[in-house]
Chain A
Amino acid sequence: MPEVISRAAPPAPETDEAPARRTAAQRVIQLLDAVWRPALLLVLLVFGWWAITAAEVFPAYLVPAPGDVANELIEEREMLARHTWVTTYETVLGFLLAAAIGMLAAVLIVYSPTLEKALYPLILFAQVIPKIAIAPILVVWFGFGPMPKVILAVLIAFFPVVVSGVAGLRSTDPELLDLSATMGASRWKTFRKIRFPNALPHLLSGLKVAVTLAVVGAVVGEFVGADEGLGYVLLLASGNLNSSLLFADLILMSALGVVLFVMVEVAEKLLIPWHASRRQGVPLTTS
């Protein structure tokens, strides 16, 4: 039936081949197009910051000049790199554990009503309890090492993973599950081939929230009791009224969060290209 196909065909070749044929130059242009607006805003903000310090509106020990902060970043690079590495390590470990534990909890909740009843109140309780209030207890229990920071990062980051995981796993089309049943598929196979990939878009948006929260968890942990890490440096700098170091440290913390966020976004692009590219709507049921 060639006439049916020719009528239906147009969207497929375009979406299929256009990305593959894009040249390197076009990619650069596309990247610049995405970047120039926030870059311009950033430049304006830094300029405004510089103007304020140049006019000496505030004393230098309260607001350091951008140049001083840049100097601090360069001169103290070895010390700052070491502390950034510590915080990165705590954050990433906490995030990965949160992702694993959160997914596991989501699966248990979706597959077992009994476990849902048992787990859900506990998870909610763990969420509403002020994490900063637990930090001192964790330090008492686990000392000044990375352990309490990792645990804090996990505690803060795992809730969005659970919520998005549950939403994703529950969003499976019931007809797909019926179909799977008529195929005689095992629960595990249905999970692996239908439910889990279907949950990925939800899950990844939860992971994006989680990774930024994990940074917060690690830094808060360092505030309470640490001898290394960006949070520790921040306390040190504020104690010495070293505002340049304080700002430099702040910039590094934000950069860490941004880099980790972008990494999850890249993972998202790689894992679910089918979802990101889903623009033409799938025909919906009529009755």
Chain B
Amino acid sequence: MPETMTTQPAAAAGEQRAATTIDITDLTCTFTSKRKRTTALTDVSLSVEAGEFVSIVGPSGCGKSTLLKIVAGLVPPSSGDVRLLGNPVTGPQREIGFAFQRAALLEWRGVRANILLQAEMRNMDKRQAAARADQLIELTGLTGFESALPHELSGGMQQRVALCRALLHEPPVLLMDEPFGALDALTREHMNVELHRIWRETGTTVVLVTHSIAEAVYLGQRVVVMTPRPGRIERVYDVDLPAVRDYGATMSSSTFEELAREIRVLLGASGHHG
């Protein structure tokens, strides 16, 4: 889907910035409640290139979800600089697709109508959006369930709908906050394979926050490991695996196993969670 990159207006501005899609510099985020101040993130700096797939792993409460929300402009940072497609992030960003841990679907809408919410909110061309929705429904294997309501779907299918919705407007950037966290292991593997394929086919820049080391390594070109609160970037691994990855072959490759073990040790050493 080469048209993905041409539809977004920021592409021209991004070119002279060496195609850096997300640029985070010295980011700090502190929440103040009545009782105490919590530092969620300190000194986070990260750049994500266009078309890259970056996974972020870390123990619970390390601020990785907060980091994603800051990039999306949903949470303001306390200090530091965040740029998306070359523009400073000051409010909610429109040039992104966001997938949440829960599917966050509208209960009263069927699959297709839920996906098309994106188009309605953005005033997209109706016919184009409908065609694109059909395409995505087919791509994610939701054919035959177009009018099913969310409560009639399994967790995996709900997440597919959420994924379709996040991709409908062909966003240059896809931010995913533990989208498969609530799924069973088998469904999760299938979704990983699908996400890998979708990323390959659309060339979208993806940032995936996850608890699963296997998921992070299988999907990511780079894996960012974070420390427990206050969240910092502990290490960034380059994943030395082929761009097109077969699930079974990748899982049993020595490169995968070594990297996964290394990350596991690192996470085990930096906290009790894993």
Contact = CB atoms under 8 A, between A and B. Distances in A.
Interface of A: 1-2, 4-5, 7-9, 11-12, 15-16, 173, 175-176, 178-185, 189, 193-194, 197-198, 272, 274-275, 277-287
A4 B153 contact: no
Contact of B149 (A9, A180, A183, A274): A274
Contacts of A281: 151
Contacts of B163: none
Q: Which of A12, A272, A285 has the most CB of B within 10 A?
A: A12
A5 B107 contact: no
B20 interface: no
Interface stretch (B27-35, B117-125, B217-225): B117-125
A278 B149 CA distance: 9
B226 to A, nearest CB: 16
A184 B171 CA distance: 13
14 contacts: A4-B190, A11-B152, A16-B148, A175-B100, A178-B69, A179-B100, A182-B92, A183-B118, A193-B106, A274-B107, A277-B151, A283-B155, A284-B102, A287-B181
Nearest to B111: A12
A285 B154 contact: no
Nearest to B110: A274
Interface string B122-148: 100000000000000000010011011
Interface string B144-187: 11011111111111100000000000000000001001100001
Interface residues of B, number: 46
B101 interface: yes
B184 to A, nearest CB: 10
Contact of B104 (A7, A173, A197, A284): A173
A182 B181 contact: no
Given A16-B148, A285-B181, 5 more contacts: A4-B141, A8-B154, A184-B122, A185-B122, A274-B149
A178 B152 contact: no
Given A175-B102, A183-B118, A275-B107, A12 B187 contact: no
